[in-house]
Amino acid sequence: MISKYLPSHDNYMDLYKYPHKFAVRPFRMAANIYYVGNSAVSSHLIDTGEGLILIDTTFPHTYPLLINSIWEAGFSTYDIKYIIHTHGHFDHYGGTSELAALTKAKTFLSAEDARMLREWPELVMADQCLFCYLGLFTPDVEIEDGQIISLGNTEIRSVLTPGHSPGVTSFIIKVTDGNATYTAGMQGGAGLNTMNITFLEKFNLDVSKVRNDFLEGLKKLEKEKVDITLENHPSKNGTFARRKKMLENPDAPNPFIDPAQWLPHLSEMREKFNVMLEEEAEALAAP
């Protein structure tokens, strides 16, 4: 059975040929959080007052766009102190080696995904990356569940939510905006491309463990109170629709500050996952 949840090279071809088509003008989302990613994959920059934290570095071939966006947002790449990652797939750490070498920033990745990069690099989805210069990287810090990463006025708590990769890490982020404080949250990865039966069997992974871990991660996150819902793929939380609203009506309340978004966002992930399970069961039952 060929799963529709496995991406094909065709889906990515335009991105490899014409990465500039995916360029997005950077913008301040809320508080000290800036969007510096492209239209396919996110990168978030946090201005902590004592240096910058970058969450994810996009694809290897969109690294130049990321650099441009950081400068265009009004920051210097040389002020990046920490580069932290939601998980160890190539579309989230593609620019990390170069950026870390340039800035001397400290790099962070969960211990589980650091191990995946060391011992099982085929799981970083590199076979889907047509870019020929994809490298791996060794993080300076291996993130543990519940670890606090602090810099300046910002505190980030990690919540280990494996499933999509062995070490998907979600982040609960305390940010400030003048006298106001907000909690931003990001589920670190829920793609079904690595949780469908075809993928799991291909790599001989424990199907029920991977899937139970994913659902347990969602339950952990549902206990969090989040004002600003971040996503490492902008299409999954309507990042650009909210940005459009913001541009159309700059005096209205900030559409990114929306405490009602978090729980439905997580529910949508669970629903998509359940649809996949139903489709697999139907395919198995078919004569």
* Footprint of Zn ion (CB under 5 A): 89, 189
Task: Quote the tokens at residue 126.
Answer: 């590199």
Longest Cα–Cα distance in the chain:
63
By beta-carbon proximity to Zn ion, the closer residue of 94 and 255 is: 94
- Residue 124 Cβ, how far from Zn ion at the closest point, in Å? 9
Residue with the CB atom nearest Zn ion in the bound state? 89
By beta-carbon proximity to Zn ion, the closer residue of 174 and 236 is: 236
Report, in angstroms and rounded to the nearest whole number, the Rg of the chain calculated over CA atoms.
18
| 169-177 β-sheet, strand order | 148-151, 154-160, 169-177, 180-186, 228-230
In our burial notation (b when 16+ CB lie closer than 10 A, e otherwise), range 250-285 reads: eeeebbbbbeebbeebbeebeeebeebeeebeeeee
- Residue 149 Cβ, how far from Zn ion at the closest point, in Å? 21
By beta-carbon proximity to Zn ion, the closer residue of 129 and 246 is: 129
Non-local CB neighbours of 187 within 8 Å, separated by 6+ positions: 161, 170, 217, 218, 221, 231, 265, 266, 269
Query: What is the amino acid identity at position 7?
Result: P
- Residue 93 Cβ, how far from Zn ion at the closest point, in Å? 10
By beta-carbon proximity to Zn ion, the closer residue of 80 and 190 is: 190
- Residue 219 Cβ, how far from Zn ion at the closest point, in Å? 20
Residue 89, exposed/middle/buried by CB under 10 A (0-12, 13-18, 19+)?
Answer: buried
The CA distance from 33 to 101, in Å, is: 24
Cα angle value 187/192/194 (rounded, 5°): 100
- Residue 99 Cβ, how far from Zn ion at the closest point, in Å? 19
- Residue where the block lists tokens 């102190």: 81
- Contact between 278 and 51 (Cβ < 8 Å): no
- Residue 257 Cβ, how far from Zn ion at the closest point, in Å? 27
By beta-carbon proximity to Zn ion, the closer residue of 52 and 84 is: 84
- Residue 150 Cβ, how far from Zn ion at the closest point, in Å? 26
By beta-carbon proximity to Zn ion, the closer residue of 19 and 189 is: 189
Residue length of the chain: 287
Residue 142, exposed/middle/buried by CB under 10 A (0-12, 13-18, 19+)?
Answer: middle
- Residue 188 Cβ, how far from Zn ion at the closest point, in Å? 9
By beta-carbon proximity to Zn ion, the closer residue of 37 and 189 is: 189
By beta-carbon proximity to Zn ion, the closer residue of 126 and 151 is: 126
